Amino acid sequence: MLWALAAVIAAAAQTARNAMQRSLTARIGTVGATQVRFLYGFPFALLFLTGVASVTGEGVPSPDLRFFGFALAGAVAQILATGLMLLAMKERSFSVTTAYTKTEPVQVALFGAAVLGDTLSGTGLAAILVATLGVIMMAVKPGERLTAAGLRPALAGMAAGGLFALAAVAFRGGILELGDRSFVLRASTMLAWSLGLQTLILVAWMVLFDRKALTASLSVWRSSLFAGFMGAFASQFWFIGFSLTAAGNVRTLGLVEMIFAQVVTRGLLSEATTKRELFGMALILIGVAALLMLG
């Protein structure tokens, strides 16, 4: 059950990173805030990899073409997903936007089965559906009119969830390609490669098309360091989970992030939590508990 501990740690760290990125969006724009998690997270990923290789005594594995393909696909999908998530957060509350993106586990289970042959028991699939229903309960408000303004962040959030699902499956696929090395070393190797590719892609894009955002992101390096560290820290533990079990299991347990998001919403951002959202949280916990005990 080490994967379960890794998923909970990752979810807590990701909540902190998302809150920091949300605050940076208003200052340096969506693209600038998106690249913060990659540019400032990459040095920490290299430190993690160096430390793990030193402790285990294993050499850093040399990736093959299939690993690189998985890493690149995951990197691009995660960049797009992060940008869409931050766009949605500009128009909806932190916790509700997080809920939209957390339609991801069902998609992860489907993509994992199709691409990697990952399988879940019937109970496990039912647990994922119950937890996802809790997410929907938190995101969809009774009597809310479906206007163009309301539809835009909803679609952006759910599209982000789909792209996060693709990224999770791609990253697990790359980790599996590294063979029989220790699970922590394989996770750290994928982290370093993915963040390196993401940094290269986004910096190149900003140099060509948005130098103002690049300059702005560099000017807020002090506050961005925390977001970068928490992003790398969260991804390290997501990848540890992916190296131990199917991505669908890890991302479903990661729905406890919704609970952490509520803490941020109430304590730091002064946004109210409704009874419907609390009921949705209860469903998430039921689904997660069923996955752990029966899935």
This prediction has a pTM of: 0.83
Q: Are 137 and 277 in contact (CB under 8 A)?
A: yes
| SS3 label, residue 210 | coil
Domains identified in the chain, total number: 1
- Taking alpha carbons only, the member of 206, 194, 196, 250 closest to residue 73 is 194
Higher pLDDT, 233 or 102: 233
Position 87 scores a pLDDT of: 78
Position 270 scores a pLDDT of: 58
pLDDT tens digit sequence for 10-55: 988 888 887 777 777 777 777 777 788 889 999 999 999 999 999 9
- Taking alpha carbons only, the member of 145, 144, 163 closest to residue 101 is 163
Neighbours of 5 (CB within 10 A): 13
pLDDT tens digit sequence for 248-262: 888 888 888 777 777
Q: Is the dihedral of CA 142, 144, 145, 151 positive or negative?
A: negative
Question: 145 exposed, middle or buried (CB, 10 Å; 0-12, 13-18, 19+)?
Answer: exposed
In which domain, by residue range, is 123 found?
A: 2-294
Task: Tell me the C-alpha distance between 11 and 251, whole Å.
Answer: 9
Cα distance from N-terminal residue to C-terminal residue, the chain: 12
- What are the C-alpha distances in Å from 198 to residues 11, 56, 148? 21, 27, 32
- What are the C-alpha distances in Å from 207 to residues 38, 202, 214, 238? 15, 9, 7, 30
